[in-house]
Amino acid sequence: MNYILKDENAVFYECGFSCDNVVFLKFGNEAFFITDSRYDTEANEYIKDAEVIITERRDMFPKVRELIKNAKIKELIFNPSEWSLHAYEEFTKDIDDVEFKRVANFSQQKRIIKSADELDILRKASEIGAKAFDNFAKFLNESGLHVTEQRLHFEAENILKNYGEFGLSFSPILGVNKNAAKCHALPLLDTLDKGDLILFDAGVTYKGYCSDRTRTAEFDQNLNFSKTQKFNSAKRQEIYDIVLKSQEAGIKKARAGVKACEVDKACREVIEKAGYGEWFIHSTGHGVGLDIHELPVISKTSETVLEEGMVLTIEPGIYLPEEFGVRIEDTLIITSGEAEVIG
């Protein structure tokens, strides 16, 4: 198989190292990592199973075209979403005897089933992420009262990173009360007070792989991010219990041989029967790996049949505008039986 990659995580998957200026070429058993001199030392230290080629920073494509021509291949696969129009025109220029074949999500399709080593790394990432949630809960209990969402967001990032040891899967999502009704809320200047509802969605990266988790809780200076939660408001408790029941239904359904849309349906039916279907406004989940969002997609329309070794989230939610929102999310490993919940 012959293909060309530009996405950092797609390249990392192939050879164990990547950077923000790279083209990776694979021609059968031959592989080439083309970058500039800024990454010479690390590329030669970390690259596995590929020849490192150093070019001028803004002059990579002549070398890429030369390698393609010299390979004397008939077809080269690429993922169109990785390439700007300009970059595509550059690497295909003056090459008339090669078919450039578009394959959407090419690398993610290759990565959809995780190896045993990848699963161990993802388990560790989730373990680190869960510990960070506990540490953030401790911070909230000791120092969170009357602090703004913006400052809490800043502190959450530091705690998740363990002050530089780990990366972030994504910028954390932290919403208090009505801001929690926004799926991807931006932190505000509103302050956290006793009795407030807080939604926290975050993850870390470990050896390049992501964790992902969401919890909703009530702040009372004895806050924890377990899934057993008690709220002073009857309405909040009702919504929370519905979402938890929905998530449990999705986790129970998720196993090898089941279609992704059937997992989504299992979650959605619980919320719809409770009368809140219109407020479950996103898909049920997504794959997790080197990318925080990768295959498989867990949605109403996804016909993907789940297989052992897939890793995905189950994260139903109910969002009541100008009131509050509840989301509960865990990461799962698909098995032939009950899914393994790792985060």
pLDDT at residue 82 in the model: 95
17 phi and psi, to 5 degrees?
-155, 150
Of the candidates 319, 339, 322, the one whose C-alpha atom is nearest the C-alpha of residue 331 is: 339
Calculate mean pLDDT across residues 162-186.
96
CATH annotation of 116-341: 3.90.230.10
How remote is the C-alpha of 173 from its chain's centroid? 13
57 pLDDT above the threshold of 80: no
Can you tell me the distance from the alpha carbon of 333 to that of 343, in angstroms, rounded to the nearest whole number? 10
Q: Say which CATH superfamily domain 2-110 falls into.
A: Creatinase/prolidase N-terminal domain (3.40.350.10)
Can you tell me the distance from the alpha carbon of 161 to that of 294, in angstroms, rounded to the nearest whole number? 22
Q: In what order do the strands lie in the sheet with 167-168?
A: 167-168, 204-206, 209-210
Residue ranges covered by each domain of the chain? 2-110, 116-341
Contacts of 47 (CB under 8 A, 6+ apart): 15, 16, 17, 33
58 pLDDT above the threshold of 90: no
Bond prior to 62 in cis (omega within 30° of 0): no
DSSP for residue 219: -
Strand partners, 4: 25
Calculate mean pLDDT across residues 285-313.
98
pLDDT bin (cut points 50, 70, 90) of residue 107 is very high
Sign of the torsion formed by the C-alpha atoms of 173, 330, 129 and 208: negative
In the chain, the amino acid numbered 42 is E
Q: For a pLDDT cut of 70, what percent of the chain falls above it?
A: 100
218 pLDDT above the threshold of 80: yes
pLDDT per position as a tens digit, 232-286 = 999 999 999 999 999 999 999 999 999 999 999 999 999 999 999 999 999 999 9
pLDDT bin (cut points 50, 70, 90) of residue 221 is confident
Q: Are 318 and 181 in contact (CB under 8 A)?
A: no
Residue 322, sorted as left (phi over 0), alpha (psi -120 to 50) or beta, turns out to be left
pLDDT bin (cut points 50, 70, 90) of residue 56 is confident
In the chain, the amino acid numbered 318 is I
Can you tell me the distance from the alpha carbon of 217 to that of 236, in angstroms, rounded to the nearest whole number? 10
30 pLDDT above the threshold of 90: yes
